Structure 1
Amino acid sequence: MTNNILIYNTLSRTKEVFEPINAPFVGLYVCGPTVYSDVHLGNCRTFVSFDLIYRYLLHLGFKVRYVRNITDAGHLEGDRDEGDDKFAKKAKLEKLEPMEIVQKYTLGFHDVMRLFNALPPNIEPTATGHISEQIEMVKQIIDNGYAYEVNGTVYFDVEKYSKEHNYTLLTNRLLEDLLEGTRVLGGQDEKKGRLDFALWIKAKPEHIMHWPSPWSVGFPGWHIECSAMSNKYLGERFDIHGGGMDLAATHHTNEIAQSQACNHTQPVKYWMHTNMLTVNGTRMSKSAGNGFLPGELFTGQHPLLKRGYSPMAVRFFMLQAHYRSTLDFSNDALDASDKGFKRLMTAIALLNKLKPSGEKSGLDIQDLEKRCYAAMNDDFNSPVLLSELFEAVRFINSVYDGKAVVTESDLALLKKLMNNFVFDILGLQQEIPQSNDINKLMEFVIKLRNEAKAAKDYATSDKIRISLNEMGIQLKDNKEETSWSKI
């Protein structure tokens, strides 16, 4: 096992050797959900990916402080500090207090994360719980000369900042290109520059969520919350900041600018971003009509789905693609993942039944373990890891069928390897165990089939096997017994 991990850093656009700032402590911050609606699959993919990263760092012995925020204030409909606050709009539609909306969807988010078997973060701060920290950060940015106040709203001065720092450092885009893609300021616009963004926004009289500040009764801009909370819990400079790739161009770019302007240092050593989701090759979105929620994926109650898939099968599906690769949802791909997940779980169940059967194993387990670590050390390459684990699956099946042998020491190492990588690192888990009634029923059916085989009534024996297969149950024979599993 080695701690020599390579991480693709969005900031440098290369793979870098992971060297924590204060090893063995690791500061990990991931942009959490905006809780005014049900969590979408893009969020889930990001959080499953960083759950994998978090699990692996813990497995290697790092002391990780994992912070994942909850956005529950200050998120306007547009990225240009315009439109209604999404929480207030939702609260008005449902005739609820904004914090009732927050509570409802935060609990729903936690429920989904539990279904995906994602470990909870060490700290889960909320924007509304850290208004004072955001106000203090805005004060410091103003004092340092990178922000200005107009009629109670405070804006970050991108032009002033860009004269001294590279504002587009994270995306490597030209500032001129950003300006060309931004509307020309009208006479009623308060901002000095087209790219300036709000740090604090003066609330309109009808705005529900607002707090007092030195500039006005208002609410924080969206971007300042992550800078303030990461600074509080991880310090002015920390190791890893993650999120979806859609956050890089605006949210994370502005986070870097705010933190640099406040603390005179780059806030993050490694920026990591997950790629987008597609459905049958088309980008997933509500407007395209091809977006679906986790609950719809689990139940299959969506026009694009022919059936539902278990949370573990979906997690397995997500892990089959590298976190930086596009993940395409289709019924065929989900079906294949479902079968692959069940095949993996069946092999692990068989592994516990294996007995040492030779003086030299048919597979070099130590070499397999090295390859598994090598996959994870190469930018957390879960698809390569899974391919290595399925070599172990083939070996387990061969040993169970009496076609290969395994030594006592290798059997112990193989059990440890599968437990470490399948359960602890990949975060997969066995589905809910079958009830005793089903187990007893299957024992009875298997007994009838065995009696038919003993009587050489192969027609009946085959009929039982084929019928069970059509119902999604697979029988597996070996010299000692017949086992069963769901397909």
Structure 2
Amino acid sequence: MIQEIQIYNTLTRKKEVFEPLVPGKAGLYVCGPTVYGPPHLGHARSAISFDLLFRFLKQIGYKVRYVRNITDVGHLVADADEGEDKIAQQAKLDELEPMEVVQKYTNMYHEAMALLNLESPSIEPRASGHIIEQIEEVKKILNSGYAYESNGSVYFDVEKFAAENEYGKLSGRKIEDLISNTRSLDGQDEKLSGLDFAIWKKASPEHIMRWPSPWSDGFPGWHMECTAMSCKYLGETFDIHGGGMDLTFPHHEAEMAQSQAAHGKPAVRYWMHNNMITLNGQKMGKSLGNAISLDEFFSGNHPLLEKAYSPMTIRFFMLQAHYRSTLDFSNEALQASEKGLERLMKAVAKIDSLPVSESSSVNISELSANCYAAMADDMNSPIAIAYLFDGVKMINSIADGKSTIAAADKDSLKSLFNTFVFDIFGLKGEDQAGSGNSEVLNEVVDLLMKLRADAKANKDWATSDKIRNELAAIGFDIKDGKDGVSWELKK
């Protein structure tokens, strides 16, 4: 079933046909969270964007190895080479060991991702579990001549690398501008240039998280972990590297340079970045005081929220925007998504009870082709969703007796909606989130509908009306049409 798909490559600034290194297989690495606080909407945007890619690649026949890391060491405050480790800083505030902080917030991240119905990655490595691999990468870069040791730390020599390779091409930065903006820093610390970044950092006496190395007791630089772990699990060159747009510089730019220096060739063939989430046009962030955790969304416990929003509402809200577009949060937008999701799920529930005819007046093949074409065009989920809502109109038209559908087309329609709504978009009805008994519920109600039909056939109007009235009392809407009976569960 594998078809040609196009993805936007940040490196080349254009859509390209995806041609994996190994036909039928895809290697995907995505930067996961730094686990020093509760998961928030930004974490969800990146995770859902690449969960969508993971699901779609598998659906069209690829065997995918999806690696998403956990950063539990080396990410310093202000994303810099100086200062305290973000996790160690939180450990002091919480009066916990750093790895207690890591475990606490990793658990919270996993719980939130499960509620959002994310599939688990194939491998989820932790930076602290790959110190040996990171030390080996540092050695390779030193041997290549693109790094130097200074007072027990090892720094990547950006200007030397840039003299022989392109630096800044991923983020669109010019090395000349970067150099001019950092000249004032030269000579003020142990770096040759303010542009240089740590690939191994000597630990200060008060630094809690440290490991022995040939250069000092210290810890790896933030950028080094992804280079080492992607290489270990996907090879020196692999297909796709993903992450948030805010990681393009310096993190991914540094990764790209490190890998080239260590292995003498580019590591990544396609760079994919999801865009940011804003709040009424302003970037969401802790420092701005407008960050909202996922738990606060699910509970409604935040002054900016008018109500609680379910995990599936959050997921559908994000899928309604293209992963490369800015997504502006508002209560109005989430409530519109909530209504749209409810309409979609009601239509899915109606398919089984649609009356069949000898011929169809609807074109399911065209609908299916449009949905797949939208997704093959750089994961264009909002266009695919728009086509699904064309399908919703079809379903309602058939249910109302205004259109007809043959049995084979009805099966195709059900398969299409199940594939896109559940398998690719990863949505599920809210009743499925807890009990998983929606299929049993459908069977029970269908059985009651059959008993009611039998009662009507026997002119047992009292039993027929009792079944209808009792179901209506607990929230079911029963409709008798010329082509049969249909039902749905009202909210």
TM over 0.5: yes
Give the Cα–Cα distance (whole angstroms) in 1 for the partners of residues 97 and 291 of structure 2: 28
Give the Cα–Cα distance (whole angstroms) in 2 for the partners of residues 398 and 476 of structure 1: 17
Amino acid at match of 2:126: T
Matches within 5 A, 1:9-20: 9-20=9-20
Determine if contact 1:88/1:208 at 8 Å carries over to the other structure. Answer: yes
Q: Which residue of 2 aligns with 1:411?
A: 410
Q: Which residue of 1 aligns with 2:489?
A: 485
Q: Which residue of 2 aligns with 1:95?
A: 95
Q: Which residue of 2 aligns with 1:426?
A: 425
Greater share of helix residues, 1 or 2?
A: 2
Give the Cα–Cα distance (whole angstroms) in 2 for the partners of residues 153 and 59 of structure 1: 46
SS at match of 1:194: coil
Deviation digits for residues 411-469 of structure 1 (CA, Å, limit 9, x no counterpart): 01101111111111111112125999xx999x9xxx9xxxxxx99xxxxxxxx99x99x
Give the Cα–Cα distance (whole angstroms) in 1 for the partners of residues 480 and 164 of structure 2: 72
Aligned length: 462
The answer to whether the aligner puts 1:311 opposite 2:298 as a matched pair is no
Deviation digits for residues 154-179 of structure 1 (CA, Å, limit 9, x no counterpart): 00000100000011110222112223
SS at match of 2:185: coil
SS at match of 2:382: helix
Q: Which residue of 1 aligns with 2:249?
A: 249
Determine if contact 1:2/1:373 at 8 Å carries over to the other structure. Answer: no
SS at match of 1:124: coil
SS at match of 1:184: helix
Give the Cα–Cα distance (whole angstroms) in 1 for the partners of residues 188 and 414 of structure 2: 68
Give the Cα–Cα distance (whole angstroms) in 1 for the partners of residues 402 and 175 of structure 2: 64
Determine if contact 1:401/1:478 at 8 Å carries over to the other structure. Answer: no
Amino acid at match of 2:361: G
Determine if contact 1:202/1:218 at 8 Å carries over to the other structure. Answer: yes
Structure 2 vs 1, CA of residues 52 and 159 (structure 1 numbering), >3 Å: closer, same or farther? same
Q: Which residue of 2 aligns with 1:333?
A: 333
In structure 1, stretches of 5+ residues that fail to align are 448-453, 456-463
Matches within 5 A, 1:127-166: 127-166=127-166
Determine if contact 1:277/1:283 at 8 Å carries over to the other structure. Answer: yes
Give the Cα–Cα distance (whole angstroms) in 1 for the partners of residues 211 and 98 of structure 2: 14
Give the Cα–Cα distance (whole angstroms) in 1 for the partners of residues 364 and 198 of structure 2: 56
Q: Which residue of 2 aligns with 1:390?
A: 389
Q: Which residue of 2 aligns with 1:377?
A: 376
* TM score, norm. by length of structure 1: 0.91
Structure 2 vs 1, CA of residues 478 and 180 (structure 1 numbering), >3 Å: closer, same or farther? farther
Determine if contact 1:67/1:122 at 8 Å carries over to the other structure. Answer: yes
- Deviation of residue 288 (structure 1)? 2.4
Determine if contact 1:342/1:486 at 8 Å carries over to the other structure. Answer: no
- Deviation of residue 186 (structure 1)? 5.5
Q: Which residue of 2 aligns with 1:261?
A: 261
Identical residues among aligned pairs (%):
57
Deviation digits for residues 21-40 of structure 1 (CA, Å, limit 9, x no counterpart): 11212110000000111112
Give the Cα–Cα distance (whole angstroms) in 2 for the partners of residues 352 and 177 of structure 1: 62
Matches within 5 A, 1:353-372: 353-359=353-359, 361-372=360-371
- Deviation of residue 86 (structure 1)? 1.0
Deviation digits for residues 268-311 of structure 1 (CA, Å, limit 9, x no counterpart): 00000000001122221222222201111111111111111110
Matches within 5 A, 1:46-65: 46-65=46-65
Give the Cα–Cα distance (whole angstroms) in 2 for the partners of residues 475 and 182 of structure 1: 68
SS at match of 2:164: coil
Amino acid at match of 1:245: M
Determine if contact 1:156/1:199 at 8 Å carries over to the other structure. Answer: yes
Structure 2 vs 1, CA of residues 181 and 203 (structure 1 numbering), >3 Å: closer, same or farther? same
SS at match of 1:432: helix
Give the Cα–Cα distance (whole angstroms) in 2 for the partners of residues 65 and 356 of structure 1: 42
Give the Cα–Cα distance (whole angstroms) in 1 for the partners of residues 91 and 249 of structure 2: 29
Q: Which residue of 1 aligns with 2:191?
A: 191
Amino acid at match of 2:489: S
Amino acid at match of 1:394: K
Q: Which residue of 2 aligns with 1:4?
A: 4
In structure 2, stretches of 5+ residues that fail to align are 453-460, 463-470
Give the Cα–Cα distance (whole angstroms) in 1 for the partners of residues 244 and 490 of structure 2: 34
Give the Cα–Cα distance (whole angstroms) in 2 for the partners of residues 419 and 82 of structure 1: 50
Amino acid at match of 1:19: E
